């Protein structure tokens, strides 16, 4: 695809190639964000896909099945257009998660890469492993070339900055493939961290292998993010995305 749509252009691709991330402002309207907030707020913590503390839901796994409107959103419209634009062709939404830092569930995430995918079953395939299960869904670490054909779009439902846990990234760290712990430590000493501040309706696009982290929130303002993963490839050996 890779043609300018007016919403995103060659500078978006340049940022993705050089830095490993790009922020697209105002991809969804105020009304669309308000509707999504209402939908995810209706979800309760009565199943294994939700995580709650002190009566507040702070994360929902398997968001496509728990809130079907999120799947509809991911399969068409500006989010799908952005994913296809960056991946250069097909872009299949394969996973969605809600993250909501609250006063009762406030955490920091250490520097890491996203190296696991959700699949339909276990399979004896070279380069795949270890295997785990989360909320009833099989997860596995695939070969790096699969991760390099995936994109994550983080849709912000709230304004987000350094005070309420905005994502931190190490620009350029996506370019070396999957890193061991010592490689991540080296990047921490090489690249200056960037705080990915965003407004409600903005989307942060990033490669899964970009080294990233987040700090605990120091403000009472919510930080709700819908994290959607897209794949531009199929899986080998009869394995399918969950």
pTM over 0.85: yes
Quick one: pLDDT at residue 135? 81
Check the CA dihedral 123-125-131-133 and report its sign: negative
| Structure token pair of residue 239 | 């394995």
**Peptide bond connecting 124 to the previous residue in cis, omega within 30 degrees of 0:** no
pLDDT digits (tens, 9 = 90+) for 12-46: 999 999 999 999 999 999 999 999 998 887 765 44
CATH 3.40.50.300 for domain 10-231, yes or no, is no
Quick one: pLDDT at residue 58? 56
Q: 91: helix, coil or strand?
A: coil
Q: Are 214 and 110 in contact (CB under 8 A)?
A: no
Counting residues of the chain whose pLDDT is more than 70, the rounded percentage is 88
Q: How confident is the model at residue 219 (pLDDT cuts 50, 70, 90)?
A: confident
CA distances from 107 to 100, 121, 215, 217 (A): 10, 31, 7, 7
Length of the chain measured in residues: 242
> With 60 as the cut, is the pLDDT of residue 225 above it?
yes
Q: 100: helix, coil or strand?
A: strand
Q: Tell me the average pLDDT of the chain.
A: 88
pLDDT digits (tens, 9 = 90+) for 135-160: 889 999 999 999 999 999 999 999 99
Axis-axis angle for helices 68-75, 78-87 (nearest 10): 50
DSSP structural state of residue 160? B
| Domain range summary for the chain, segments of one domain joined by + | 10-231
Q: How confident is the model at residue 108 (pLDDT cuts 50, 70, 90)?
A: confident
Quick one: pLDDT at residue 84? 96
Owner of token pair 């340049």: 14
Quick one: pLDDT at residue 47? 44
Q: Could you tell me which residues come within 8 angstroms of residue 143 by beta carbon, excluding any fewer than 6 positions away?
A: 127, 128
Quick one: pLDDT at residue 116? 97
Question: What whole-number distance in Å separates Cα of residue 91 and Cα of residue 24?
Answer: 18
Question: What whole-number distance in Å separates Cα of residue 90 and Cα of residue 83?
Answer: 8
- Lowest average pLDDT, out of 38-47, 52-61, 227-236, goes to 52-61
Q: Which residue, among 241, 205, 148, 222, has the nearest Cα to 8 in the 3D structure?
A: 205
The most distant pair of C-alpha atoms in the chain lies apart, rounded to whole Å, by 47
């Amino acid at each position: 695809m890779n043609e300018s749509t007016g919403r995103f252009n060659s500078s978006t691709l340049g940022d993705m190639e050089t830095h490993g991330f790009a922020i697209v402002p105002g991809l969804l309207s105020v009304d669309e964000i308000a509707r999504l907030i209402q939908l995810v707020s209706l979800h309760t913590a009565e199943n294994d896909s939700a995580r709650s503390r002190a009566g507040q839901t702070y994360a929902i796994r398997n968001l496509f099945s728990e809130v079907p409107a999120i799947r509809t959103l991911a399969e068409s419209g500006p989010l799908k257009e952005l994913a296809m634009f960056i991946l250069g062709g097909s872009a299949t939404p394969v996973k969605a998660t809600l993250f909501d830092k609250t006063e009762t569930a406030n955490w920091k995430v250490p520097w890491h890469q996203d190296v696991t995918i959700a699949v339909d079953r276990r399979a004896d395939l070279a380069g795949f492993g270890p295997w785990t299960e989360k909320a009833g869904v099989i997860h596995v670490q695939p070969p790096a070339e699969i991760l390099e054909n995936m994109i994550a779009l983080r849709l912000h439902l709230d304004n987000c900055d350094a005070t309420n846990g905005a994502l931190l990234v190490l620009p350029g760290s996506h370019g070396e493939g999957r890193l061991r712990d010592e490689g991540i430590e080296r990047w921490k000493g090489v690249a200056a961290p960037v705080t990915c501040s965003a407004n409600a309706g903005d989307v942060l696009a990033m490669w899964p292998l970009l080294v990233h982290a987040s700090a605990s929130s120091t403000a009472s303002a919510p930080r709700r993010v819908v994290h959607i993963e897209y794949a531009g490839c199929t899986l080998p050996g009869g394995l399918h995305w969950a």
